């Protein structure tokens, strides 16, 4: 019989999107929660993986390389979900963020790591997109796992969001 | 007074998107949860309905037909949320999925039905888009209902996601 | 020690998207829940702010004005997340909604206010996009706050969705 009461004040976020604006929203929520002492886990799947890549790696097939070229490498290069205008929108947003001295996506990612947010990378997405562990940023709290890992963490969290 | 403890280890997913990649994410979560014995219900609304259509039906008005033409019929024809390139992105992903012998979206849909995932189709979306019951895939666990049905199911589930 | 049982039959929605179809889905869920007596709070962030703007205001910088021009003012002017065709998709949907005598987005927004749905506008998004309180619709249950406010409300709600 399942324990009905085991949900904690924790947050589980699936980051499916690789868009700059959605990533910023995800990390802002994650960092806010982690800053309040809540355990936070982020599950990176599909386009969300692009935020954790450190550089363009060598693909294992033409199709994989093509996909890799379409996927920006690292939090510095992702676009907006809307009004991207070939990168213009993202550039403008970045500039505005700097003018306002707000946090950049890179800083948000680093803050999440400093606050101990757990990163889980979807194993199936890595296989499909041909991405290896070496292409991902180094972080001791980064693990590679399947959907069961997300479900387990989500069952134990009060808040879960698909972004 | 509401019962504070009635949430079960269940999953409620609103599938709003008709994109191939998002649908794959939704069905992967649904099938993973159903495979672990968790009750899963999926509520299909708006573009998500395109995944359950079996073929292009006869619309009831010009506008409806236009909308129908824009909505791909069935899980075989949906595009990606990003980098679709007039269908190219989706074709590539499909090919990669086959190369990797991973699950296709069609197989994921079938697996969800085999595992008894409950499908609820949003009545208002059907009305707005002019889609009838006959145009949807046959499945004994498919029902047509309103937002109250989603809310009821979500209140009884620990995990609920909008995809 | 956190209280494990304090989640109520309440709904917390983050409205990140400014798309017409997603906004309709968000308000339909919010209004359905509020109509059943559930407390509902909506947290408007990023593009979602466009739904609460009453008119195009004077920006404080060129970049801000450019962003403002890209952000449609008010629920009457937002586009679809898919198949927008330079506004065509949204116009068609609106026309179909009227033909079907369904609710328009404007009516859904008004209904949410009539039913006492709490609106919280993300302070950081307002700063980044250069939007002031005066540019938002008047509503006594509209407040301006940060991510902590969303987290607090989400912890106390059984259902939370990122749209």
Q: Quick: pLDDT tens for B58-87.
A: 444 444 554 555 556 666 666 666 555 455
- Are A129 and A107 contacting, i.e. CB atoms less than 8 angstroms apart? no
pLDDT at B5 over 80: no
What are the percentages of helix, strand and coil residues in chain B, rounded to 5? Answer: 45, 20, 35
Q: Angle at which helices C105-114 and C20-35 pack, to 10 degrees?
A: 30
Residues of A with CB under 8 A from a CB of B: 2, 4-5, 7, 14, 16, 18, 45-47, 61, 63-64, 66-67, 70, 124, 127-128, 146-148, 150-151, 154-155, 160-162
CA distance A161 to chain C (A): 6
Q: What is the pTM (predicted TM-score) of this model? A: 0.81
d(CA C159, CA A25): 19
d(CA A135, CA A13): 22
**Which two tokens mark B44?**
């299909």
B31-63 pLDDT per residue, tens: 999 999 999 999 999 888 888 987 554 444 444
Cβ–Cβ gap B102/A18 under 8 Å: no
Would the ipTM clear 0.90, i.e. be above it?
no
**pLDDT, position C44:** 95
Cβ–Cβ gap B127/C33 under 8 Å: no
Query: How distant, in Å, are the alpha carbons of B143, B151, C37 from that of B155?
Result: 19, 6, 13
Of B109, B156, B154, which is closest to residue B13 (Cα–Cα)? B154
- Are C31 and C109 contacting, i.e. CB atoms less than 8 angstroms apart? no
Instruction: Give first-to-last CA distance, chain C, whole Å.
Output: 31
- Are A84 and A22 contacting, i.e. CB atoms less than 8 angstroms apart? no
- Are A40 and A108 contacting, i.e. CB atoms less than 8 angstroms apart? no
**pLDDT, position A96:** 63
**Which two tokens mark B48?**
């998500």
Report, as ranges of residue numbers, the positions in chain C whose pLDDT lies below 70: 1-6, 55-103
């Amino acid at each position: 019989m399942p324990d009905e009461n085991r949900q904690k004040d924790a947050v589980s976020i699936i980051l499916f999107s690789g868009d700059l604006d959605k990533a910023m929203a995800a990390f802002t929520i994650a960092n806010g929660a982690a800053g309040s002492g809540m355990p936070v886990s982020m599950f990176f799947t599909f386009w969300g993986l692009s935020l954790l890549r450190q550089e363009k790696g060598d693909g294992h097939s033409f199709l994989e390389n093509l996909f890799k070229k379409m996927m920006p490498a690292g939090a510095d290069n992702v676009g907006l979900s809307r009004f991207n205008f070939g990168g213009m929108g993202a550039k403008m947003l970045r500039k505005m963020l700097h003018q306002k001295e707000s946090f950049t996506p890179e800083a948000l990612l680093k803050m999440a790591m400093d606050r101990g947010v757990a990163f889980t990378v979807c194993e199936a997405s890595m296989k499909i997109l041909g991405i290896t562990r070496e292409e991902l940023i180094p972080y001791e709290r980064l693990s590679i796992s399947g959907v069961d890992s997300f479900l387990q963490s989500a069952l134990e969290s009060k808040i879960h969001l698909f972004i």
